[in-house]
Amino acid sequence: MKFTDTLAAATRRHDSLLCVGLDPEPSRFPGAWKGDAERIFDFCAGIVDATKDLVCAFKPQIAYFHAHRAEDQLERLMAHVRRVAPGVPVILDAKRGDIGATAEQYAREAFQRYQADAVTLSPFMGFDSIEPYLRWDGKGAILLCRTSNPGGDDLQAQTLQGGEKLYERIARLAAGEWNRGGQLGLVVGATYPAEIARVRELAPTLPLLIPGVGVQGGDAEATVRAGLRPGGPIVVNSSRAVLYASAGDDWAAAARRVADATRRQLGVAAATSVV
């Protein structure tokens, strides 16, 4: 199945727009695990087990594994998700951006080594930096477009010759000539609902991966209203609010409670949105 089909099926099956981001920080692990990078797999697998029926996707952030030499734990985690949550797509948050043979290797890393269903990419170097990922049949490539960090304004909000902003140009290309296999999506931050709406206008059917709900301050209802359209899916990511809901023995149960509350909040917003 294509990534987009797998995503749609998981969204329907779990009645969920929620993606749980897996950003393991050993310094924030519960109890005796605190500070122990050897427990990255155990912690993330516990989160997956607690939330697997509440999400439309999982999103491990590769840097949190690489920084602790935990690539093997990431491989085990990806296999664990496929085993205990079959049909839930995994988006590898890597934000790769390079050309030619190097991009081919990054694509192999994401899709062969880690068996990801989709990967996040930087489009700054143009289409030839994205094309190698599109050779992997059915896999998704989700391009940074209007990110949630304040520094995104430095480039993404700049006006190009002709009057459109850079993020608008990225959205237009992703929805048009770059999307040759129907594999592209876009990253748009929840902290910018007006920009989410503009991206959705330019890319009416592309999946939008929307980080920034929760600790970063994005509003769930505004996010859904801005981005969700018939035939235009959204994937709303929450990481730290779910992962570190409790530092006690109830950490997995607390993660489930927060994930379910967020899922329900998104569902209410979806049901009441005017689209």
Kindly write down the DSSP assignment for every residue of 109-130, as one continuous string.
Answer: IIIIIS--SEEEE--TT-GGGT
95 has catalytic annotation: yes
Longest dimension (CA), the chain: 58
Tokens describing residue 268: 């209410």
Angle of the 40-51 helix axis to the 251-272 helix axis, nearest 10: 40
- Residue 92 DSSP SS3: strand
Contact, 180 vs 151, CB < 8 A? Answer: no
Which residue is catalytic, options 2, 52, 95, 139?
A: 95
Is the alpha carbon torsion for 81, 96, 189, 150 positive or negative?
A: positive
- Residue 90 DSSP SS3: strand
Catalytic (active-site) positions: 95
